[in-house]
Amino acid sequence: MALSMQSSLPTSVPSLNRIVIFGVGLIGGSFALALKRANAVKQVIGVGRRAETLRRAQSLGIIDAIGDASSVAGADLVLIAAPVAQTEALLRELAPHLKAGTVVTDAGSTKSDVVQAARPALGDKIAQFVPGHPIAGREQNGPEAALSELYQGKKVVLTALPENAPESVAMVASAWQLCGAHVHHLSADEHDAVFAAVSHLPHLLAYALVDDIAARKNADRLFQYAASGFRDFTRIAGSSPEMWRDISLANRTALLAELDAYAAQLSSLRALLVAADGAALEQVYARAQSARQAWIAAIEAAEQVRTYEQGGD
Amino acid sequence: MALSMQSSLPTSVPSLNRIVIFGVGLIGGSFALALKRANAVKQVIGVGRRAETLRRAQSLGIIDAIGDASSVAGADLVLIAAPVAQTEALLRELAPHLKAGTVVTDAGSTKSDVVQAARPALGDKIAQFVPGHPIAGREQNGPEAALSELYQGKKVVLTALPENAPESVAMVASAWQLCGAHVHHLSADEHDAVFAAVSHLPHLLAYALVDDIAARKNADRLFQYAASGFRDFTRIAGSSPEMWRDISLANRTALLAELDAYAAQLSSLRALLVAADGAALEQVYARAQSARQAWIAAIEAAEQVRTYEQGGD
């Protein structure tokens, strides 16, 4: 049933006896629910700092049992889905219990820093770690927000290490495909450069605009006249400040490069405005409009193909 | 019926014998449909450059007849809803036919430039011109996109001139209120400063980001990983390049001031990133997040009040 819904599925459902998930909120919880729905896992163990959250996840059927770092000993697959700042400490904790044959992956939004943290934390077990980043989310958080279909049709980027055995990468890829995701492969540096441009910079820009306006003496009047364009433009400024502080710092080098490129773009637009060069201004706007239209058309075409493959699901 | 839906309605429905609308697309067409639905107008005459568009508007019941500049002679109210760049020429054309007692308004997104153009164009009839800006729109254009409910619950800003008789301003305000809009009053300069901050700058920023990315060698790969945050952030970069060229130039002074304030904000965020000052970065993000949350809460509260006043409509 789950198999028929996906065009690029592994040929056989991996029979995972046990997975351990560190962090049973939206991301980790949705991974567990999706694998359970696919009948691909026998037991899901949840690990986390807050006993209350783990109990809620258990009563929601997301996890079957509550464990600790030592639970990884008997696991086939381990997912770190806790805030990125905790990744290194968690890897250090679980490393002594990690047996050959167990594969560890993560769900962090940045990858070079995770790899850098993982090497000393895992030592000679680094080959067992396959870094990943699912491109999916919702505004809600916590186990209650978890959905078995969260990853359906979404991208997951794996940034495999040179040390990884192909079977380890394939195992992580299979698990995500069973969640309905499309798996892509990039290097950690490529990943971070791409997401600095299309995600991290826009977040910083949206936060900057709202804060700029909120700091004015006439902020109330300004917000009073802000309409739907402003609302959409700034939606991502509603995201978690802690999470985006961590991402900004973790991907600082690539983000600074993007910020500088953008500042240069703004300063050339400024020059066009000063010169009242309407033709050149219109050219920039028109290029942007048509690039965006082409992008939206490509997304919609991909969605139609997916719907077709899924038999209209 | 229409009267009971609005809390701040004029005490009596103005009985407009004739209105003339220059430009019968989304904005002008919706104005006509709304006044017709409110039974507030006997005859709507449409004027425009394209006979075909006017005929479509007529067959859609938006206008009752097709006219020309001389049609303003017998009108109570005239709305200029053509592209802003045409406003001056249209005012010059209609001025000779304008009789005392007829009030002219417009729907342009910028106001100081319109006032500047209107003074020489209308000469000693300037007191009959009450500039306005309805804050409403859709992605579609043309008469087919017009909706009688487009202005329901939306803001309309009037930027009355010192020369305007209070009755002229009241007449334009009443017409918009009959369309379901909330009428606000600002000076033209205040209007332009406010919209430079909350609308014109965000448009320029969104165009700048998309064009910056589209110009890269790896643009395809970047767009491939752009997700819903990017989609919302750049939605306004799908707007008409011609229209936004005109707005950018028309409101150049205020837009430049906003662009400079924003560039200063980005450069202070850059310094925080360089210093890896996570606490200060988080503070900016958190201020922005809470300002936006407060704004959204205020919008939602206002919408609930409106729903209540409208008896759940």
B169/B212 same-domain check: no
Residue A8 in this model has a pLDDT that exceeds 60: no
Q: Which of A240, A292, A296, A303 to mutate to probe the B interface, most B CBs <10 Å?
A: A292
Smallest Cα distance from B247 to chain A, Å? 10
- Report if residue B287 sits inside a domain: no
Least confidently predicted of B69-83, B130-144, B202-216:
B130-144
Cα distance from N-terminal residue to C-terminal residue, chain A: 12
A110/A225 same-domain check: no
Contacts of residue B230 in chain A, CB cutoff 8 Å? 198-199, 202
pTM equals 0.88
**CB-based contact B131:B118 (threshold 8 Å):** yes
B157/B201 same-domain check: no
> Which band of pLDDT confidence, cut at 50, 70 and 90, is reported for residue B6?
very low
Of the candidates A208, A233, A298, the beta carbon closest to that of B206 is on A233
> Which domain range does residue B267 map to?
191-276
Say if the Cβ atoms of A292 and B238 lie within 8 Å: yes
> Which band of pLDDT confidence, cut at 50, 70 and 90, is reported for residue B313?
very low
Of the residues A154, A186, A218, which one is the last residue of a structural domain? A186
Residue B138 in this model has a pLDDT that exceeds 90: no
Q: Encode pLDDT of A128-141 as tens digits.
A: 999 999 999 877 88
B110/B196 same-domain check: no
B54/B139 same-domain check: yes
- Report if residue A1 sits inside a domain: no
Average pLDDT over residues B12-25: 86
- Helix H segments across chain B? 26-37, 51-59, 87-94, 112-122, 166-178, 188-195, 201-214, 219-225, 228-233, 241-250, 252-274, 278-309
As a whole number of angstroms, the distance between CA A227 and CA B79 comes to: 23
* pLDDT value for A2: 35
> Which band of pLDDT confidence, cut at 50, 70 and 90, is reported for residue B4?
very low
CB-neighbour burial class of residue B270 (10 A; exposed 0-12, middle 13-18, buried 19+): middle
Tell me what percent of the residues of chain A surpass a pLDDT of 70. Answer: 93
Residues facing A24 on adjacent strands: none
**CB-based contact B112:B195 (threshold 8 Å):** no
DSSP assigned state of B159: -
Contacts of residue A138 in chain B, CB cutoff 8 Å? none
Contacts of residue B220 in chain A, CB cutoff 8 Å? none
The number of folded domains in chain A is: 2
Smallest Cα distance from A157 to chain B, Å? 9
Say if the Cβ atoms of A205 and B210 lie within 8 Å: no
Residue A34 in this model has a pLDDT that exceeds 80: yes
A150/A203 same-domain check: no
> Which band of pLDDT confidence, cut at 50, 70 and 90, is reported for residue A303?
confident
Burial A173-199 (b: 16+ CB within 10 A, else e): bbbbbbbbbbbbebebebbbbbbbbbb
> Which band of pLDDT confidence, cut at 50, 70 and 90, is reported for residue B85?
confident
- Report if residue B298 sits inside a domain: no
Average pLDDT over residues A102-120: 97
Residues facing A133 on adjacent strands: A157
* pLDDT value for B308: 59
Q: Encode pLDDT of A38-74 as tens digits.
A: 999 999 999 999 999 999 999 999 999 999 999 999 9
Q: Which of A142, A179, A273 is nearest to B205 (CA)?
A: A273
- DSSP secondary structure, B21-36, as one string: EE--SHHHHHHHHHHH
Please name the residue of chain B whose CA is at the shortest distance from the CA of residue A246. B278
Residue A111 in this model has a pLDDT that exceeds 60: yes
- Report if residue B58 sits inside a domain: yes
DSSP assigned state of B198: I
- Report if residue A268 sits inside a domain: yes
Q: Can you give the CATH number for the domain in which A26 is found?
A: 3.40.50.720
* pLDDT value for A192: 98
Please name the residue of chain A whose CA is at the shortest distance from the CA of residue B133. A225
As a whole number of angstroms, the distance between CA B92 and CA B213 comes to: 43
Residues 248-267 of chain A whose Cβ lies under 8 A from any Cβ of chain B: 248-249, 252, 255-256, 259-263, 265-267
Say if the Cβ atoms of B211 and A288 lie within 8 Å: yes
**CB-based contact, B5 to chain A, within 8 Å:** no
As a whole number of angstroms, the distance between CA A220 and CA A217 comes to: 8
**CB-based contact, A151 to chain B, within 8 Å:** no
> Which band of pLDDT confidence, cut at 50, 70 and 90, is reported for residue B301?
confident
Residue A293 in this model has a pLDDT that exceeds 90: yes
Residues 193-212 of chain A whose Cβ lies under 8 A from any Cβ of chain B: 194-195, 197-199, 201-212
- Report if residue A257 sits inside a domain: yes
**CB-based contact A218:B196 (threshold 8 Å):** no
B149/B23 same-domain check: yes
> Which band of pLDDT confidence, cut at 50, 70 and 90, is reported for residue B302?
confident
Contacts of residue A270 in chain B, CB cutoff 8 Å? 256, 259-260, 263
**CB-based contact B34:B150 (threshold 8 Å):** yes
- Report if residue B136 sits inside a domain: yes
- Report if residue B308 sits inside a domain: no
B218/B181 same-domain check: no
A131/A221 same-domain check: no
**CB-based contact, B123 to chain A, within 8 Å:** no
Residues facing A257 on adjacent strands: none
* pLDDT value for B306: 62
Of the residues B165, B186, B207, which one is the last residue of a structural domain? B186
Average pLDDT over residues B235-247: 94
Q: Encode pLDDT of B39-61 as tens digits.
A: 999 999 999 999 999 999 999 99
A61 to each of A36, A37, A75, A83, A179, how far by Cα in Å?
10, 11, 19, 22, 17
Average pLDDT over residues B231-258: 95
**CB-based contact B33:B62 (threshold 8 Å):** yes
Of residues B139 and B50, the one with the higher pLDDT is B50
Q: Which of B184, B209, B258 to mutate to probe the A interface, most A CBs <10 Å?
A: B209
B171/B62 same-domain check: yes
Q: Encode pLDDT of A198-242 as tens digits.
A: 999 999 999 999 999 999 999 999 999 999 999 999 999 999 999
Q: 3-class DSSP state for residue B67?
A: coil
DSSP assigned state of B183: E
B59/B160 same-domain check: yes
* pLDDT value for A306: 62
